[in-house]
Amino acid sequence: MPQMEQTHIARLALPEFNRTFHDLLGFRAFVTPFSRSILEDIFETILWFGRTRDDFEEFERTARVTYSFLDSGAQVNQELIAQNFYAVIDRVIPALNTSRAAKAEVDQVPKNNADALIETNLAYYKVMYEGLLPFVCAPVICAFGVYKNINDDDGFRPRIGGKVNLNTINRMSRWLTYSENRLAIGLNNHLRNAYSHNNYRILDDAQVELWDRSWGPEIWHLDQLTKINDQLWVNALGITCGLVLYDINNRLTVESHGWVTPTKVPRLRRQELHAVAESLADEFGFYLKKVEALPNEVSMTLSVKPKGIDQEGKIIKGYKSHTDIFKEPMWYEERRVIDQLTMMFHRLIPYFNTEVEVSTNVVSLDDVSLGSLVTDFRTLIGLQLEDTKPETVERVRQVFKTDTLGGCTTFVEKKGAPRFVGRGPAKPDNS
């Protein structure tokens, strides 16, 4: 897991991810604890620690292109892409941590020590270039090769150990339908080679001379090194986010076909089941009143939610020296209960055997029955729904054992991206 203490902002990572990439999330999307931990790590980094809106837009574009390559390759050969993807995904978090540690070395150097800053920046670049990018790019380049039917270039096939040769990225350009290659942002093999082969000499005035066998010499200023490192880091986070998008959209499908080892979701105890059901109920527009689990049945009583007041909430992050204040827009959308329950039940699938029956009674705020829904998880899996638009769900409602919900509705709370609005004095320490 990422070696960072979780902040209040990290807990907003998943809502921000959903808001940014909602159009790419399929109906069978499932966020594992693994994917969630990566999202919390990268979204906290890209959103709040000195970043700008331009950084986030670059990050988002790269994530979308990365996912597009993976998805396009999967449409040609889903099993091959899945196997290449899951062969390296477990290496991503350690690689991110190693790069983050190298970045921390840079951050610890006094700003007036230009020589040390040049050394640590060059080392940081090498760590990302050699240890992070070859892993996160490997399944993407493989998927691109499959989609474009590139059979005469071994660079589009991962090496033993899962890494890929980053020089292949430059060769992708001949098959691209647009001029910009998002995977290439921040990549400079001359810079990496010069440092790796000790072909550099630090000069005065925060400059370094760099050369390689077929390149240079060139004079780079510390500001140039800092900029390219930041470009590569932001782009690596975007590529990683694209990988997470693929994992979320394909994990259940891939496991159901036996292409990779299934995720082991622990069997829930009663207290844990209540916590999971309560969290999901709140997300999909309900209050959980009761949940009970028997060996082959789980039953719930849910209450619909009323329409709240559209407003802006306040988030305060407190530090020793000051507080940062954020505003978070909140609003309510009316949704059909049947559509929300269908999504909620799908999110519960990994926690139960397929033969388990799930039944839900839905009541109004004053405990008047609005109807019930009864089905089993095998039936839900068999639906293979691509979305939960009202017209889509309406076509399959007849397969449920019991459905007396009609067109009743509930209100779902939605939240926008928090925005920084100001800085205040430190909160008093009451400890």
Question: pLDDT per residue over 25-74, tens digit each?
Answer: 887 888 877 788 788 888 878 876 556 778 888 999 999 999 999 999 99
Residues 37 and 182 in one domain: yes
For residue 302, the enclosing domain spans 270-420
- In angstroms, rounded to a whole number, what is the distance separating the alpha carbons of residues 273 and 221? 57
The pLDDT, as a whole number, for residue 210 is 96
Closest residue by Cα to residue 135 from 83, 74, 92: 92
- In angstroms, rounded to a whole number, what is the distance separating the alpha carbons of residues 305 and 370? 13
Helices (DSSP H) in 329-376: which residue ranges?
337-348
Residues 17 and 150 in one domain: yes
Amino acid at 54: D
Residues 236 and 100 in one domain: yes
CB atoms within 10 A of CB 249: 22
Verify cis geometry, omega within 30 degrees of 0, for the bond prior to 425. Answer: no
Residues 89 and 161 in one domain: yes
Residues 176 and 108 in one domain: yes
Residues 206 and 302 in one domain: no
CB atoms within 10 A of CB 256: 11
Instruction: Tally the C-alpha atoms within 13 A of residue 365's C-alpha that lie toward its C-beta.
Output: 7
Residues 252 and 281 in one domain: no
Question: For residue 168, is it within any domain?
Answer: yes
The pLDDT, as a whole number, for residue 268 is 66
The pLDDT, as a whole number, for residue 293 is 86
Total domains, the chain:
2
Residue 62 near residue 185, CB atoms below 8 Å: yes
The pLDDT, as a whole number, for residue 264 is 53
Cα distances (angstroms) measured from residue 230 to each of 166, 198, 233, 372: 18, 22, 5, 53
Question: For residue 406, is it within any domain?
Answer: yes
Last residue of a domain, one of 256, 287, 304: 256
Residues 144 and 27 in one domain: yes
The pLDDT, as a whole number, for residue 431 is 35
Residues 31 and 180 in one domain: yes
Any idea what DSSP says for residue 130?
A: I
Q: What is the pLDDT along the chain (431 residues), one digit of tens a residue?
A: 333 333 455 566 777 788 789 899 887 888 877 788 788 888 878 876 556 778 888 999 999 999 999 999 999 999 999 988 888 887 888 888 899 899 999 999 999 999 999 999 999 999 999 999 999 999 999 999 999 999 888 888 877 777 888 889 988 888 887 778 899 999 999 999 999 999 999 999 999 999 988 888 999 999 999 999 999 999 999 999 999 999 999 988 888 888 876 655 556 677 778 877 887 898 899 999 999 988 889 999 999 999 988 888 776 665 556 677 778 788 999 999 999 999 899 888 877 878 889 999 999 999 999 999 999 988 988 887 877 889 999 999 999 999 999 999 999 988 777 777 888 776 554 43
Question: For residue 431, is it within any domain?
Answer: no
Question: For residue 116, is it within any domain?
Answer: yes
Question: For residue 59, is it within any domain?
Answer: yes
Residues 317 and 351 in one domain: yes
- In angstroms, rounded to a whole number, what is the distance separating the alpha carbons of residues 47 and 60? 11
CB atoms within 10 A of CB 39: 22
Last residue of a domain, one of 215, 230, 256: 256
Question: For residue 264, is it within any domain?
Answer: no
SS3 at position 282: helix
- Please measure the distance between the N-terminal and C-terminal CA atoms of the chain and give it in whole angstroms: 30
- In angstroms, rounded to a whole number, what is the distance separating the alpha carbons of residues 102 and 48? 20
Helices 92-108 and 114-127, axial angle in degrees (round to 10): 180
Question: For residue 429, is it within any domain?
Answer: no
